Structures are given as C-alpha cells and as structure tokens.
Homo-oligomer: A and B are copies of this chain.
Amino acid sequence: MPYSAEHREQTRKQIVHNARRLFNRQGFNGVSIDDVMAAAGLTRGGFYKYFESKSKLYAEAVLLILSEGPVTNDNGGIACDSPDFASYVIRTYLSRQHFEDIDAGCPLVALPGDVARSDTLVKQAFETVFKAMTGIFEGCLTDGHRGDSDRALAIASLCIGAMVVARSLEDRALADKLRDTAVKFAHELGNWK
C-alpha cells in the first residue's frame, strides 16, 4: 500500500482548491483540465484518478465556498443570529474586496449563468450554497419579521443581483454605487441597523 491516504487527500484538495479559483475567474468553459492540473502542479493524465468528469469537479468547486468561505469560518466574533451578524455578512458580501476577489469569491456571483446551463449535480451544489446564504439571513431576522423566509430570499436576491451586475458593468463608479445601495436596502429590508 504505497502512498498514504493522506497524500491522496492532500492532492485531491489541491486540485479542487485550484479548480475553484480558476472556475470563479474563467467560468466552466474557460477552464481546461490542463489548466486545473497544471495549477495543482500535476499533469493532465492524472485527473481521472481523482474525478469522474470535469462537471463533477465543478460541482465540488462550487460547494467549496461553504467550507472555505469568509463567513463560515470567521464570524467576526458576532453571534450568528444577531442583526449585527446580518449587517456584517451584508457588508462583507458587498464589499470592494469581495467585488475584486473573484478567485475566492462566492460562486453565486461568479457562476450563475454557467450553472443554469450545467447538469443537475451542479445546480444542486448551487442551490445548497444559496440556501446556506438565505438561512443566515433568516436566522438574523427579529421583531415582526422573525421566520419570514420570503424576506430572507429577497435580501439574498438583492445582494447577489447587485454583485452580479456590478461585476458586469464597465463603469466602475456605477458598480460602486450599486454595491453601496444594495447594502443600504438590504439593511432596510431586514430591518437591521
């Protein structure tokens, strides 16, 4: 039994990690298996020792935001069902840093068009991430809005929509305005300060 299971796991992680970065930046069709493997320090041929297909890798890369995203691992020290937490998430999501950091950014922003044209597995991965996001917002609703899952859907849609559009505009000033505006109205919808 040569090579440890740990070695295999490590290599696999390297591949998915780099795939996520590349897919986020270039989209599904813009990234080749060569690209992914080279970024992981390997060559083309070994890919199918780890993944059944490019599509399966894609689905896994989309899910990576949940385990390696900025929000899940680091709550900024705030209780995860408080208005402050919602505010923190919104401001982080719509920050200039997230706008620019496409590599490690949210796949909901970088890949929706791609995903709409992909297979079931990929859409399910996308859905899982989206539900995680709306779940966060729903958990932070208080007062008369507690448990208002529709409201959480709307807030998430607003945040995602604003970022998606912002990244597709040529006018940087308008993109900035769009982010700021979305922060403001997301707070308004959630009744957060």
Given the contacts A27-B29, A112-B113, A153-B181, A160 and B168 also touching, CB distance less than 8 Å: no
Given the contacts A27-B29, A185-B154, A185-B189, A174 and B116 also touching, CB distance less than 8 Å: no
Q: Which residues of B contact A177 (CB under 8 A)?
A: 150, 153
Given the contacts A127-B169, A154-B185, A185-B154, A110 and B108 also touching, CB distance less than 8 Å: no
Say which one of A47-55, A80-88, A118-126 lies at the interface with B.
A118-126
Given the contacts A127-B170, A153-B181, A169-B127, A112 and B112 also touching, CB distance less than 8 Å: yes
Q: Which residues of B contact A25 (CB under 8 A)?
A: 117
| CA of A66 to CA of B142, assembled, Å | 41
Is A78 an interface residue, CB under 8 A from the partner? no
Q: Which residues of B contact A159 (CB under 8 A)?
A: 161
Q: Which residues of B contact A117 (CB under 8 A)?
A: 25-27, 30
Is A12 an interface residue, CB under 8 A from the partner? no
- Smallest CB–CB gap between A125 and chain B, Å? 9
* CB-based nearest B residue for A160: B161
Q: Which residues of B contact A168 (CB under 8 A)?
A: 112-113, 115-116, 123, 126-127
Q: Besides A116-B164, A127-B168, 18 other CB < 8 A contacts?
A: A27-B27, A27-B29, A27-B117, A111-B113, A112-B164, A123-B168, A123-B169, A124-B170, A151-B185, A153-B181, A154-B181, A154-B184, A154-B185, A157-B178, A158-B158, A160-B164, A161-B161, A161-B164
